[in-house]
């Protein structure tokens, strides 16, 4: 023990403790920067020196929790990060990625370690980057990985993009993910849109009488197909659905036509769910049409967005005129029809014909809505010139969230 000039005594254990604290802080700072910058910053951070000695003059394992333990934790976090983000160096071609700390990991092992080591928010970001930025298609082509992945809208979009590659167990796992995401989205949109649409609901409407004559055979068979027993060659019915045997003309008809080109995937997902929400209103009949260079009427599945999304065909050209012509044939009472057309408006060779039909629909009294986006972000890339021309035909043209669309439609139905 030593004495300073003032006569106070210095405790060597306290000095060692201060040194340990300083080294612990240094290692923690280096560890944080290492996670951000990657292994190519080791020299500048002095990371190798810290890893070997745990700091100057401090034995590995000393300190609160142990400096060695901190380094072990750092190495554990580095491996799954390097497995993904070392690809960025190769992608940019300014460094060779080489074999990093994530070398030897498999995709299932990587996914497991990510879930164990990082909070849920970070897991979602890393899974999204792995799939969308670095093309790790194993995330959507391995049934075990699919079932363990976080069910998010980004994963749903990837499944829709690559579902043509899926068969057997992979397709079954993909359907489970789509069903989970659609269920979450539907619940959220119902809560968001319910107040806006509440005024359009007829409180006197009653459910159909549950009798044999009122059985909805089409819906009953479709909803119970998953219970088909191939050995017995019979359909096991868990639930029977009913409908009114006689129904007067609906007060309103909403015709929704969605561009299913790849750039409109977000809008397609939200449109499928919103169509089901609109169809649940007793005074509203919904027609849902998907189009690219083809036209596909999926109105019979409007209450089952899972089947709509798994049956859609992303891609193809953008030929809007045939879709507009088909949808015009669905209009029976123009003054009681809302026509919602979703597209990025990048159409070629038929702009004049489309604008002429848009003008005639508006003149006939149809309430026409043109959307360049229908999702939570509303950041569309679209042909602004055509959108302005469409607005000049008397259409309401915008990019809306589902809640804003529900508010707009709710005012029209009131």
User: Mutual orientation of helices 265-279 and 153-162 as an angle, nearest 10°?
Assistant: 110
Domain contains 99: no
Bigger pLDDT: 302 vs 11: 302
Asked whether residue 228 falls in the same domain as residue 351, the answer is no
Question: Which pLDDT does position 287 carry in this prediction?
Answer: 97
Domain contains 2: no
Asked whether residue 401 falls in the same domain as residue 305, the answer is yes
Strands 234-235 vs 252-259: parallel, antiparallel or unpaired: unpaired
Question: Which pLDDT does position 58 carry in this prediction?
Answer: 38
Asked whether residue 141 falls in the same domain as residue 262, the answer is no
3-state class (DSSP) for residue 58: coil
pLDDT in tens, 340-385: 999 999 988 899 999 999 999 999 999 999 999 999 888 888 999 9
Which residue, 40, 65, 92, sits at the end of a domain? 92
3-state class (DSSP) for residue 397: strand
Strands 295-297 vs 234-235: parallel, antiparallel or unpaired: unpaired
Domain contains 198: no
Asked whether residue 272 falls in the same domain as residue 359, the answer is yes
Question: Which pLDDT does position 289 carry in this prediction?
Answer: 97
Residue 235 CB coordination number (10 Å): 13
Which residue, 67, 92, 117, sits at the end of a domain? 92
Which residue, 63, 92, 121, sits at the end of a domain? 92
Domain contains 202: no
Asked whether residue 124 falls in the same domain as residue 40, the answer is no
Asked whether residue 88 falls in the same domain as residue 58, the answer is yes
* Percent of the chain clearing pLDDT 70 (strictly above): 74
Q: Tell me the pTM.
A: 0.62
Question: Is the Cβ–Cβ distance between 80 and 127 less than 8 Å?
Answer: no
Domain contains 381: yes
Question: Is the Cβ–Cβ distance between 147 and 174 less than 8 Å?
Answer: no
Asked whether residue 147 falls in the same domain as residue 56, the answer is no
Domain contains 133: yes
Asked whether residue 18 falls in the same domain as residue 63, the answer is yes
Give the residue among 273, 218, 270 at the shortest CA–CA distance from 243: 218
Q: Supply φ then ψ for residue 284, to 5 degrees.
A: -130, 135
Question: Which pLDDT does position 309 carry in this prediction?
Answer: 92
Bigger pLDDT: 408 vs 314: 408
Domain contains 201: no
Asked whether residue 348 falls in the same domain as residue 286, the answer is yes
Question: Is the Cβ–Cβ distance between 23 and 54 less than 8 Å?
Answer: yes
User: Mutual orientation of helices 67-92 and 107-117 as an angle, nearest 10°?
Assistant: 130
Range of the domain at 24: 11-92
The helix (H) or strand (E) run that includes residue 271 is helix 265-279
Number of domains in the chain: 4
Asked whether residue 386 falls in the same domain as residue 256, the answer is yes
Domain contains 231: yes
In the chain, what are the helix, strand and coil shares in percent, each to the nearest 5? 55, 10, 30
How many Å is the maximal CA-CA distance in the chain?
104
Asked whether residue 282 falls in the same domain as residue 392, the answer is yes
Asked whether residue 223 falls in the same domain as residue 280, the answer is no
């Amino acid at each position: 023990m030593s004495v300073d000039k003032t006569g106070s005594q210095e405790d060597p254990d306290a000095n060692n403790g201060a040194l340990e604290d300083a080294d612990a802080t240094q290692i923690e700072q280096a560890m944080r920067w290492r996670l951000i910058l990657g292994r190519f910053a080791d020299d500048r951070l002095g990371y190798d020196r810290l890893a070997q000695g745990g700091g100057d003059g401090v034995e590995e394992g000393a300190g609160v929790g142990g400096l060695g333990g901190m380094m072990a934790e750092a190495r554990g976090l580095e491996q799954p990060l390097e497995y993904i983000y070392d690809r960025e160096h190769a992608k940019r071609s300014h460094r060779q990625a080489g074999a990093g700390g994530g070398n030897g990991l498999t995709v299932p092992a990587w996914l497991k370690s990510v879930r164990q080591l990082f909070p849920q928010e970070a897991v979602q970001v890393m899974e999204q980057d792995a799939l969308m930025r670095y093309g790790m298609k194993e995330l959507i082509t391995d049934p075990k990985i699919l079932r363990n992945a976080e069910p998010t809208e980004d994963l749903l979009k990837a499944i829709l993009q690559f579902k043509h590659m899926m068969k057997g167990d992979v397709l079954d796992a993909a359907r489970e993910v789509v069903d989970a995401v659609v269920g979450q989205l539907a619940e959220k949109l119902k809560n968001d849109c319910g107040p806006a649409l509440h005024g359009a609901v007829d409180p006197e409407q009653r459910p159909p009488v549950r009798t044999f004559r009122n059985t909805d055979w089409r819906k009953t068979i479709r909803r119970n197909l998953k219970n088909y027993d191939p050995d017995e060659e019979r359909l096991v019915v868990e639930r029977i659905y009913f409908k009114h045997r006689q129904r007067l003309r609906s007060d309103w008809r909403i015709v929704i036509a969605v561009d299913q080109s790849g750039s409109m995937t977000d809008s397609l997902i939200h449109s499928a769910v919103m169509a089901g929400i609109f169809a649940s209103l007793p005074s509203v009949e919904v027609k849902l049409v998907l189009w690219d260079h083809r036209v596909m009427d999926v109105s019979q599945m409007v209450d089952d967005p899972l089947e709509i999304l798994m049956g859609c065909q992303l891609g193809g050209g953008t030929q809007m005129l045939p879709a507009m012509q088909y949808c015009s044939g669905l209009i029976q009472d123009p003054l009681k029809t809302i026509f919602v057309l979703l597209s990025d408006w990048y159409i070629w060779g038929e702009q004049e014909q489309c604008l002429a039909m848009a003008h005639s629909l508006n003149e006939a009294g149809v309430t026409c809505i043109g959307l360049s986006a229908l999702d939570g972000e509303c950041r569309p890339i679209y042909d602004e010139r055509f959108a302005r021309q469409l607005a000049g035909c008397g259409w309401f043209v915008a990019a809306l969230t589902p809640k804003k669309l529900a508010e707009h439609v709710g005012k029209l139905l009131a």
